[in-house]
Chains A and B, each alone.
Chain A
Amino acid sequence: MTQGIEVRNVHKLFRIGDAQLHVLKSVSLTIGAGEFVGIMGPSGSGKSTLLYLIGGLDRPTDGQIAVGGARLDTMSSDDLAYFRSQTVGFVFQSFHLVPTLTALENVALPGIFAKVPHDARMAHATALLHKLKMSDRAEHRPSQLSGGQQQRVAIARALFNDPPIIMCDEPTGALDTQTGRLVMRMLRALCTRAGKTVVVVTHDPGIENYADRMILLRDGRVIDDYATRQRPALDALEESVPNP
């Protein structure tokens, strides 16, 4: 089944007291399965809002969103939860790890809601941490990890249910340049080697070195949508990147 993303005339309004904020204004776009798409735009242009809508974390005020043929805008909230569990993996700027759980338990968290039995869950999480070269940090709590390490744990968590789509909201925003670059390489490898669809929201122009395609937002509208000049060669990627 194709996991293409289709967005048709999507509007998103937020109500703040009596006022209404029109954040997305008739956005339409299509993202093909296996594409690596970067979404850029000024702060407040609606990038995150768009990402959360196509990730099933929120619903559009108007318009249609379909992922792999399934309509998110009309889905029941339980079906949306199942969609988030099976179809997308999220990576956030602030990592969003549970502070009381170890790195391993954080990676395994999606398995609880996907009803994976305990032993299988831990084995799979261990394997993922190993692929991300984080085995020696499995028992550490998030507070005992550097930003880059935390984001690797978060990526492992996003991969736990082997979803076809990875969505990232400013994944490098809290990291230094060097570490940020490593994370971008990992994401690229996930697209190239594992065939995942990757959607990355950022305002780091360096994204163009990794993405196949760029979508530019301004003031809630798509103002540009273009293929990047050159696809980065895989051999430019580090050996350490995962190959799930």
Chain B
Amino acid sequence: MFWELGHLATHNLMRARARLAMTSGGVLVGTAAVVLLVAMTVGLQTAAEQGIGQSGALTEVMVGPSYEYNPNSDVEPPQLTPAMVERLWRIPGVSVVVPLVNFQSWGELLADDYSGGGQIMGVDARLLPYMGIEVAEGTLTLERGQVLVGSQIPINFYDPQATEYRPIQVDVLNTPLEMRTFSPRGEERRLDLSPVGILAPNPNYDYAIIMPVQQVISLNEWLNGERADPRDFKYDFALIRAESREQTTAISDAIKEMGFSAGGLGDFINQLNGFFTTMRLVLGGVGGVALLVAAFGVANTMTMAILERTREIGLMKAVGATDRDVLTVFLIEAALVGLVGGALGVLISYLAGEGINQGIANLAQQAAQSGQGSGPMFLPVDISQLQAGLVIIPTELALFGLGLATSVGIIAGLLPALRAARMTTVVALKTE
């Protein structure tokens, strides 16, 4: 029955092809606008997330003393005492807290005749697996006297005797290594180090020399010339691993509430997502306005069609059509106008998207050839990151476009169709 009525509806549509084309054209423009604009935000977001890379970093939150504390105020900014670290562990969504201590001076590294250096930080060896670091060479272990060095350290040694600075690479895993540092009292201290691993590149630790935390604490005591009071002990910063990326924002907020500074890539991405959601709504809204205009077109066309075919409506009723049958015929007709426009709109979106992506690929290539770096600046992302394209149309978006266009047709056609269904048979039949 539904198909039969649909058949009648298509017959009617084919009769007024020019009008169908114009009305569907309106829906086409609206659908293409919605789909393309939303597809663009999908592309930008994909590019942004790809640019950030490293999934491990997404669940990290870095915690440190707040910089926002007023130095003139009497209130001391909160410190990362062991008790505070305890509290961090209890924040919902936190899976691990890795507190770290910095060596309060610079550590110079001596390898044969060459000199290098890095920032010494101490970590509880048991928490090492949760730091989100990997070794490029060696092993990820840490015992007394052992160190892990950041990726930049082995390649940034230099010859102190040379007149000109030139970075030298040292095979730190197989070269006897000594650390030298000076206290404010002018004393020199030397320490034999045995590196067991070189870290994979990671911006947080590229210049780090990671040691067992107890050793760093003793070094700091030597530096300050006094034994640390365990009651005054505090960590310099802490790395928190969240159970999921979504939770990082809430965790950051909770930590800021406690008076610390907190942040991380996951938190950043969450904010980015918020931005893209807003952008999607705004751009989708722009397309939506186009669809709204198209809806008026559909309503107008359906009203015209129904006026033109009043006699036919009367006839259908005279041969047994119920009000509901008439309603169905015209709603199918309106839905088809929407669907046809929507299908063409989605098709055009795919084609246009293909064209835009191609154009951007060309731009990126030109920019690369002319050595100008990232090319045009009107985009918020480096276009070289847009490997997947600026316009990405997921299947869900295409289906959404089709559904939206069809719904627009049905909704716009509802009033005219109801009017057709309620016509008095005799009056409709007699209409000239």
| A and B are partners in one complex rather than unrelated chains | yes
- Residue from B15, B320, B425, B426 in contact with A113 in the complex, judged by beta carbons closer than 8 Å: B320
B190 at the interface (CB under 8 A from A): no
B12 at the interface (CB under 8 A from A): yes
A90 with B426, Cβ < 8 A, contacts A113-B325, A115-B1, A118-B4 known: no
1/0 contact string of A74-113 vs chain B (CB within 8 Å): 0001100110111000101000101111000000011011
A85 to B1, CA, bound (A): 15
A52 to B8, CA, bound (A): 25
> A58 near B426 (CB under 8 angstroms)?
yes
A157 at the interface (CB under 8 A from B): yes
- Residue from B11, B12, B319 in contact with A157 in the complex, judged by beta carbons closer than 8 Å: B319
B424 at the interface (CB under 8 A from A): yes
> A84 near B318 (CB under 8 angstroms)?
yes
1/0 contact string of B297-324 vs chain A (CB within 8 Å): 0000000000000011011111111111
Q: Please name all residues of chain B whose beta carbon is closer than 8 Å to the beta carbon of A81 when the two chains form the complex.
A: 317, 320-323, 325
- Residue from B1, B319, B322, B323 in contact with A109 in the complex, judged by beta carbons closer than 8 Å: B319
A52 to B325, CA, bound (A): 21
A100 to B329, CA, bound (A): 15
A114 at the interface (CB under 8 A from B): yes
A58 to B427, CA, bound (A): 9
> A84 near B429 (CB under 8 angstroms)?
no
- Residue from B312, B323, B324 in contact with A98 in the complex, judged by beta carbons closer than 8 Å: B312
A160 to B318, CA, bound (A): 13
> B323 near A78 (CB under 8 angstroms)?
yes
B57 at the interface (CB under 8 A from A): no
A81 to B314, CA, bound (A): 12
A70 at the interface (CB under 8 A from B): no
> A100 near B320 (CB under 8 angstroms)?
no
Identify the interface centre among B1, B12, B312, B322: most chain A CB within 10 Å of its CB.
B322
A57 at the interface (CB under 8 A from B): yes
CB distance from B431 to the nearest CB of A (A): 11
B14 at the interface (CB under 8 A from A): yes
B5 at the interface (CB under 8 A from A): yes
Identify the interface centre among A52, A57, A81, A98: most chain B CB within 10 Å of its CB.
A81
Question: How many B residues touch the partner, as a band?
Answer: 20 to 34
A84 with B12, Cβ < 8 A, contacts A78-B323, A113-B325 known: no
A161 at the interface (CB under 8 A from B): yes
A-B CB pair tally, cutoff 8 Å: 68
1/0 contact string of B79-114 vs chain A (CB within 8 Å): 000000000000000000000000000000000000
CB distance from A157 to the nearest CB of B (A): 7
Identify the interface centre among B312, B318, B319, B325: most chain A CB within 10 Å of its CB.
B319
- Which residues of chain B from 1 to 56 have a CB within 8 Å of any chain A CB? 1, 4-5, 8, 11-12, 14-15
CB distance from A65 to the nearest CB of B (A): 14
> A98 near B315 (CB under 8 angstroms)?
yes
Question: How many A residues touch the partner, as a band?
Answer: 20 to 34
A64 to B119, CA, bound (A): 103
- Residue from A96, A101, A161 in contact with B320 in the complex, judged by beta carbons closer than 8 Å: A161
Q: Please name all residues of chain A whose beta carbon is closer than 8 Å to the beta carbon of B5 when the two chains form the complex.
A: 112
Minimum CB distance partner of A167 in chain B = B318
> A100 near B319 (CB under 8 angstroms)?
no
1/0 contact string of B413-432 vs chain A (CB within 8 Å): 00000000000111001000
A96 with B426, Cβ < 8 A, contacts A77-B323, A81-B323 known: no
> B319 near A85 (CB under 8 angstroms)?
yes
> A113 near B319 (CB under 8 angstroms)?
yes
A84 to B325, CA, bound (A): 14
CB distance from B201 to the nearest CB of A (A): 69
- Residue from A78, A84, A100 in contact with B14 in the complex, judged by beta carbons closer than 8 Å: A100
A81 to B320, CA, bound (A): 5
A112 to B328, CA, bound (A): 13
- Residue from A92, A113, A157 in contact with B429 in the complex, judged by beta carbons closer than 8 Å: A92
> B316 near A113 (CB under 8 angstroms)?
yes
Q: Please name all residues of chain B whose beta carbon is closer than 8 Å to the beta carbon of A160 when the two chains form the complex.
A: 319
1/0 contact string of A154-173 vs chain B (CB within 8 Å): 00010011000000000000
Q: Please name all residues of chain B whose beta carbon is closer than 8 Å to the beta carbon of A101 when the two chains form the complex.
A: 11
Q: Please name all residues of chain A whose beta carbon is closer than 8 Å to the beta carbon of B318 when the two chains form the complex.
A: 55, 57, 84, 90, 96
User: 7 additional contacts, CB 8 Å, given A78-B323, A81-B322, A96-B318?
Assistant: A85-B319, A85-B320, A86-B320, A99-B15, A113-B319, A113-B320, A113-B322
- Interface residues of B, Cβ cutoff 8 Å to A: 1, 4-5, 8, 11-12, 14-15, 311-312, 314-325, 424-426, 429
Can you identify 21 A-B contacts, CB atoms within 8 angstroms? Answer: A52-B426, A58-B424, A58-B425, A77-B322, A78-B323, A81-B321, A81-B322, A81-B323, A81-B325, A84-B318, A86-B320, A96-B311, A98-B315, A99-B15, A100-B14, A101-B11, A110-B319, A110-B320, A112-B321, A113-B320, A114-B320
- 8 closest A-B pairs by beta carbon, nearest first, are A85-B320, A113-B320, A110-B319, A81-B322, A58-B426, A57-B425, A112-B4, A113-B321
